[in-house]
Chain A
Amino acid sequence: MSVSSLQRYQIEFCAHARSPKTHPRPAGIAAKRMAVYAQLLFNNMESSLAGCFPVCKKVLGLRRWNALVREFFARHRCATPLFRQIPEEFLQWLQETERRNIPPFLPQLAHYEWVELAVAVSDAHRPVGWEADGNLLAGKPVLSSALMLLRYDWPVQRISPRFKPVQPLADPVWLLVFRDPDDEVRFIELNPVSAHLVELLQAGNFTGREALLEIAKALRHPDPEQVVAFGSTVLSELRQNGAILGTLSCK
């Protein structure tokens, strides 16, 4: 299929705007004016990414961060028309290809930063029919609809310009990220057993007690009631901080 002269011009125009150093300016356009577009487009892209990934930006430093954004803008073609999903496309792009010019923890750090945005605006429907003060062992605990249980091989929650780990963790870190009833996004670090408990509750078929007995079984604990007692405290805490909304009564 032949490309029209209109579209050929547009493709050339955009290629230069995305990457002025590698694509020539279309003929007949003043350099000063074309530079306005190159700058506007890059600044837009940079600020929408910097808004979501402030720690990544700080950790990389301005020069490497700008180079990364430029590479993304020049090479990747974003498929989403929705502005808030630009960071998600950046994240996927970052995870897809191995890069030598970025620290190995960066994709996971970026994921950790993106999660806050994703959870804040998630439009997952709130479950209905739960009781806020139901019994967490006898009933089925209902989790906040905007909630993600995350496992990272890097201590993402502690990374900063002053702490850039070079080795992944021996034991992964589990984070529970959720929107509380006031729509605030909260992060809680969980131990592996509590994380397993949340995983079971996410499946939605267990009462609190059944889930804890499953865990006792998995741990081969000699006294399952001890696990239930300990787990009951964990469930109460999760309800207190808003990760658990309440319970569905069992029929």
Chain B
Amino acid sequence: MAQLEEIRGAGLGLKRELMPALQAGVPGCIDFFEIAPENWIGVGGRPGKQLAWVAERYPLACHGLSLSLGGPDPLNEVFLQRVKQFLDHYRIPLYTEHLSYCSDGGYLYDLLPIPFTEEAVRYVAARIRRTQEILERRIAVENASFYVAAPISEMDEPAFVRAVLEEADCDLHLDVNNIYVNSVNFGFDPVTYLRSLPGERIVYIHTAGHYRKAPDLVIDTHGETVIDTVWDLLAEAYRLFGVRPTLLERDFNIPPLAELTAEVERIAALQAPYATAIPAVASA
């Protein structure tokens, strides 16, 4: 099996729109790419060849969209088997999913908020454990962004995240933009939230841009550049927990590669001061 350590440094979400520019020359600051298995499983033709081209040259991380870890439907194990084959085929060492749900007897294709209840902790954790069993590896779950606080919630978000991670014994995929988005949408301090997370479980980090719809409402679009407050949160995460492989997500309004490269370089620049502290790099 591919090793988690292969994913390191700074990465970029792979989009088909970017393929011609990437095939003309991948910028040096990009250490790895991330894909959603839901967009690439069973895809042949030109996009299939493009993925093979990337996979031959760069480590890949997988960030799932459709597993619906918190959903009311039975876990889609047929789909999970396909994910497993896909991970094996492309030797992908990291698979992460959202701490959310996206189904109600059918798929809705977006990420919905799980109410933060004791029942949800046990339910989601059991499904994460089952996923780890099927995939024969640890997975990481990502703190999600959301817009509605469930009136049936019994705890706050960081308490829910911590409880699920412990009960499932899985890793954390930290999304610093999502913390910021939720901090505006629900009026809490993002740094306090960040500090309360179990740093030893963090294996992977996301940063992204968002859309400010109103003073108290931010939509997690991945369609803009990353704002300074979110860059500061990323720097704070590194300071608190150390550097983790970090990815720039951009899914809409995709600009020319050069503009994204500047943001990936900024990730690399924030990571640079810690480089000598990593033994593997120091002895290389």
Q: Write the residues of chain A forming the contact surface with B, with a CB cutoff of 8 angstroms.
A: 4-7, 9-11, 13-15, 17-18, 26-30, 32-34, 36-37, 40-41, 44-45, 48, 76-84, 86, 119-124, 146, 179, 183
Contact = CB atoms under 8 A, between A and B. Distances in A.
Interface in B72-112: 72, 76, 79, 101, 104-110, 112
B108 A18 contact: yes
A80 B43 contact: no
Contact of A45 (B47, B49, B109, B148): B109
Given A9-B152, A79-B107, A81-B76, A124 B119 contact: no
Given A10-B72, A14-B112, A120-B45, A78 B106 contact: yes
Contacts of B76: 81
A122 B42 CA distance: 8
A25 to B, nearest CB: 10
Contacts of A18: 104, 108
A121 B108 CA distance: 23
B110 A82 contact: no
Contacts of B108: 14, 17-18, 41
A82 B150 contact: no
Interface in B189-215: 213
B268 to A, nearest CB: 30
Nearest to A3: B72
B55 interface: no
A90 to B, nearest CB: 12
Contacts, number: 120
A18 B108 CA distance: 8
Contact of A27 (B112, B151, B219): B151
A33 B147 contact: yes
Among B43, B108, B117: residue with most chain A CB under 10 A = B108
Contacts of B71: 10
9 contacts: A5-B152, A9-B150, A29-B150, A32-B217, A33-B147, A36-B217, A81-B76, A120-B47, A121-B43
B115 A37 contact: no
A77 B106 contact: yes
Interface of B: 38-39, 41-49, 65-67, 70-72, 76, 79, 101, 104-110, 112, 115, 117, 119-120, 123, 147-148, 150-152, 213, 217, 219
Contacts of A124: 44
Contact of B148 (A30, A78, A123, A179): A30
B109 A34 contact: no
Contacts of B213: 36
A82 B119 contact: no
A62 B47 CA distance: 31
A84 B112 contact: no
B109 A48 contact: yes
Nearest to B64: A81
Contacts of A41: 108-110
A75 to B, nearest CB: 10
B104 A33 contact: no
Among A18, A44, A121: residue with most chain B CB under 10 A = A121
A19 B273 CA distance: 51
B107 A121 contact: no
Nearest to B66: A81
Contacts of A48: 109
Contacts of A80: 107
Contacts of B49: 183
Given A78-B106, A82-B66, A83-B109, A6 B115 contact: yes
B84 to A, nearest CB: 14
Given A121-B43, A122-B44, A29 B119 contact: no
A70 to B, nearest CB: 14
Contacts of B72: 6-7, 10-11
